[in-house]
């Protein structure tokens, strides 16, 4: 290996890849999300009302836009699961088959994945912004981030920037185009996303050298349903050029004030559950530091589970996946960076 190649390798090794750390941050946040910890999806309602419970929330009953109702029930959790640290996942979100309502019996894995993120991303934009901040704070001051985006026409952009140079971009969405209501029993807590006249939303902005913000990271975009999925409608978060994100906002709401956002560098420690978020950040830091030996799924961020190895990309040998379904979901993005290793 020549000196130039070795220097390049060391430089790349010191970068935090924004896509990869977003996978890890989202995964570790969701699997222990306090509001839904150990809860099972009892029922899903859309055009009809719930059949197993009567909810009086006027936002739900008087809704005139497309709506999704998710009813979670902690009493449906087997006692054995409550005594373990088993992560909450889309794949284990349903109760035992004998206790499943007809509305959840035939859900596809993609539908389960969407409902999982719709619920957990409620009111989560500032939570994820804080989590990202706590994570970056664990690294040296001049740590850099590698940003890789692919626009809708397939144009690839790659650059690096100081992690500290990111911005919190706050906006308002007017006239939401959907409503999601997630209720957790027996806690009796109801979380409603959308439906309001005004929704406050926050994302992270990054800049290539010599430019203003040109890349947006939205870790809670799936709170708006499948229209919030990432590149080509498959990802679990949005990382894309700013102009493409502006167009995406039209799918979330009728209007927005993204052209005149509030921008700030840091968020205060008054975010709810800040101590839990700091623990999540430390867990992600541990996983990042072990990246050479313990890999993660390039679609959902999951580590190897139940003693099973992740499936390795046959071409680049550098990406890993839980299964073929997750590999297909990630391919729209990954194919732009997938290349056989040089010998």
Residue 5 has pLDDT above 60, yes or no: no
Rg over CA atoms, the chain: 20
Alpha-carbon distance of 24 to 119, in angstroms, equals: 19
pLDDT, position 13: 53
Q: Whose CA is closest to 174, among 93, 74, 253, 264?
A: 253
Residue 1 has pLDDT above 70, yes or no: no
**Torsion angles phi and psi, residue 2, rounded to 5:** -75, 170
Among all chains, which residue has been given the structure tokens 């979100």? 93
Residue 300 has pLDDT above 60, yes or no: yes
User: In the numeric block, which tokens belong to residue 81?
Assistant: 């699961």
Alpha-carbon distance of 34 to 276, in angstroms, equals: 9
Among all chains, which residue has been given the structure tokens 């990309």? 313
Residue 78 has pLDDT above 80, yes or no: no
pLDDT, position 3: 42
Strands 253-256 and 167-176: what pairing? antiparallel
Query: If 0-12 CB within 10 Å is exposed, 13-18 middle and 19+ buried, where does residue 196 land?
Result: middle
User: Which residues neighbour 248 within 8 Å (Cβ) at sequence distance 6 or greater?
Assistant: 221, 227, 228, 238, 240
CA distances from 320 to 89, 91, 270, 294, 309 (A): 18, 18, 37, 10, 9
User: In the numeric block, which tokens belong to residue 186?
Assistant: 């027996």
Alpha-carbon distance of 264 to 262, in angstroms, equals: 7
Alpha-carbon distance of 197 to 80, in angstroms, equals: 43
Alpha-carbon distance of 55 to 60, in angstroms, equals: 8
Per-residue pLDDT tens digits for 312-323: 999 999 999 999
Per-residue pLDDT tens digits for 277-291: 999 999 999 999 999
Mean of the per-residue pLDDT values of the chain: 91
Binning pLDDT at 50, 70 and 90, where does residue 77 land?
A: confident
User: Which residues neighbour 89 within 8 Å (Cβ) at sequence distance 6 or greater?
Assistant: 31, 116, 302
pLDDT, position 36: 95
Alpha-carbon distance of 318 to 139, in angstroms, equals: 24
Between helix 18-31 and helix 125-136 the angle, nearest 10°, is 120
Residue 57 has pLDDT above 70, yes or no: yes
pLDDT, position 2: 46
Per-residue pLDDT tens digits for 251-287: 999 999 999 999 999 988 777 889 999 999 999 999 9
Strands 198-206 and 167-176: what pairing? antiparallel
Per-residue pLDDT tens digits for 159-200: 999 999 999 999 999 999 999 999 999 988 999 998 877 999
pLDDT, position 11: 42
Per-residue pLDDT tens digits for 187-234: 889 999 988 779 999 999 999 988 889 999 999 999 999 999 999 999
């Amino acid at each position: 290996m020549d000196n130039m190649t070795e220097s390049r390798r060391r430089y790349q090794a010191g970068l935090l890849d924004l896509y990869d750390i977003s996978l890890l941050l989202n995964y570790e946040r969701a699997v222990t999300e306090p509001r839904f910890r150990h809860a099972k999806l009892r029922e899903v309602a859309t055009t009809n009302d719930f059949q197993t419970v009567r909810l009086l929330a006027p936002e739900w009953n008087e809704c005139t836009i497309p709506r999704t109702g998710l009813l979670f029930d902690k009493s449906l959790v087997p006692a054995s699961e409550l005594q373990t640290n088993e992560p909450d996942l889309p794949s284990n979100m349903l109760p035992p088959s004998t206790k499943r309502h007809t509305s959840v019996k035939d859900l596809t894995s993609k539908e389960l994945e969407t409902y999982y993120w719709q619920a957990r991303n409620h009111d989560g934009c500032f939570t994820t912004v804080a989590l990202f901040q706590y994570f970056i704070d664990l690294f040296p001051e001049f740590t850099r981030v590698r940003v890789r985006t692919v626009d809708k026409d397939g144009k690839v952009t790659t650059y690096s920037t100081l992690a500290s140079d990111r911005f919190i971009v706050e906006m308002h969405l007017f006239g939401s185009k959907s409503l999601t209501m997630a209720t957790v029993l027996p806690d009796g807590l109801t979380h409603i996303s959308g439906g309001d006249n005004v929704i406050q939303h926050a994302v992270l902005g990054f800049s290539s050298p010599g430019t203003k913000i040109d890349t947006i990271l939205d870790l809670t975009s799936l709170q708006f349903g499948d229209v919030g999925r990432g590149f080509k409608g498959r990802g679990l978060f949005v990382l894309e050029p700013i102009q493409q994100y502006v167009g995406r906002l039209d799918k979330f709401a009728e209007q927005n004030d993204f052209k005149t956002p509030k921008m700030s560098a840091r968020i205060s420690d008054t975010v709810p559950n800040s101590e839990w978020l700091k623990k999540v950040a430390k867990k992600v830091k541990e996983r990042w530091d072990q990246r050479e030996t313990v890999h993660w799924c390039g679609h959902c961020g999951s580590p190897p589970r139940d003693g099973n190895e992740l499936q390795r990309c046959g071409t680049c040998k550098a990406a890993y996946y839980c299964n073929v379904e997750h590999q297909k979901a990630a391919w729209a993005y990954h194919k732009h960076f997938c290349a056989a290793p040089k010998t």
